[in-house]
Amino acid sequence: MRQSFRLERRFSTRKVPIPMFMRTLLVIFVQIALLNFAQAEVLFEGYYKVTQFKKHVGFFILRNEIDAKTKHFKTTSFMRLGKNGFNMTESLNAVSTTDFAPVSYSYLATDGAKSKTIDVTFKGDTMSGLVLDNGEKAKISKKIPKGTFLSSSLYYMMLNSKDGLKTGTKFEFTAVAEELGDVTKGTSSIEKKMVSRGIMQLLKANNSFAGMEYENYITNQGQNISALTPATGIETELMKNSEEAVQGIKVSAGTLEKVFGNIPKGKTNVLNN
């Protein structure tokens, strides 16, 4: 949803698909949110069911919030795949300014045998950090183009762009692919007509980023309802409650508390309004 916002594209990078999430989500413009949610109230939180070729393989949790002390915009996500041949855990903690200039992020992925961590900070036009990939270290140090943002903030950027988030628009961008520790160009094209999904009217976004083509169905406020990568058959769909997304896959409360600071309820989204 990458999320969003990028969960889909992880499955294209290895013979055994490895997702993350996420193209990202927002209830309202972050500037407005700063005025209304001064106490670090969560802006969006939801549980997603992850399937491949219609078979349940795991779940994904996404939270977006404003830090009351720093006024930073934070995206936190956790993904666990544990069915039908999958054994994968992934998490992301990403921090930006309220103008979506990147501040820092930490990414972790493991399949039980191998692991990868990326820790990055940004200062001015410089991106620096460390990658630890299955025990091998590599430093990151590179200049980033003006206007670069974290890809997990894609739809927030579009909401605040000149054209906004609406039908018949195309957004060209340069963003950090968090799971790669690199900067790349991408496009997001919104189709000309809204799509009906139950009682909801949704925008359909056709995206190209980091070598992957994928689709998102989103509200006009940026909430990601579902995502599909046609080449891999991977789908994610926002659920009304955690039980529908998790479907028996076990994750300890301590693991979720370590990532999010508490146990996400997954109720701050359009399905629970």
Q: Quote the tokens at residue 114.
A: 């191998």
Residue 116 maps to a domain: no
- SS3 label, residue 258: helix
pLDDT for the residue numbered 2: 54
Flag whether 91 is in a domain.
no
Between the alpha carbon of residue 70 and those of residues 3, 21, 45, 66, 170, the distances in Å are 22, 25, 20, 8, 32
- pTM for the full predicted model: 0.87
Cβ–Cβ < 8 Å for 47, 266: yes
| Residue 139 belongs to some domain of the structure | no
Residue 41 lies in a domain: yes
Is the separation of the CB atoms in 226 and 238 below 8 Å? yes
pLDDT over threshold 90, residue 12: no
> What's 54's DSSP letter?
T
Mean pLDDT computed over every residue of the chain: 88
User: Is residue 123 a part of any domain in this protein?
Assistant: no
> Could you tell me the pLDDT band of residue 156, with boundaries at 50, 70 and 90?
confident
Whether the pLDDT of residue 16 is over 50: the answer is: no
pLDDT tens digits along 124-134: 999 999 999 99
Residue 177: inside a domain, yes or no?
Answer: yes
Looking at residue 42, what is its pLDDT?
87
Which pLDDT band holds residue 186 (cuts at 50, 70, 90)? very high
CB 136 within 8 A of CB 130: no
How large is the average pLDDT for residues 10-24?
Answer: 40
Distance of CA 264 to the CA centre of its chain: 16
User: What is the total count of domains within the chain?
Assistant: 1
Which pLDDT tens digit goes with each residue over 21-76?
443 333 334 444 444 434 567 889 999 999 999 999 999 999 999 888 898 999 99
Domain of residue 41: give its range.
4-85+147-265
- pLDDT tens digits for range 235-265: 999 999 999 999 999 999 999 999 999 999 9
pLDDT one-digit tens code per residue, 176-185: 999 999 999 9
87-143, pLDDT tens digit by residue?
999 999 999 999 999 999 999 999 989 999 999 999 999 999 999 999 999 999 999
Going from the C-alpha of 164 to that of each of 30, 128, 197, 220, the distances in angstroms are 13, 31, 22, 9
State how far the Cα of 118 lies from the Cα of 266, in Å rounded to an integer.
Answer: 26
Any domain includes 173: yes
Q: Is residue 137 part of a domain?
A: no
Task: List, as one string, the DSSP characters of 59-74.
Answer: EEEEEEEE-TTT--EE
Among 6-10, 177-181, 193-197, 263-267, name the one with the lowest average pLDDT. Answer: 6-10
Determine contact, residues 50/58, Cβ cutoff 8 Å: yes
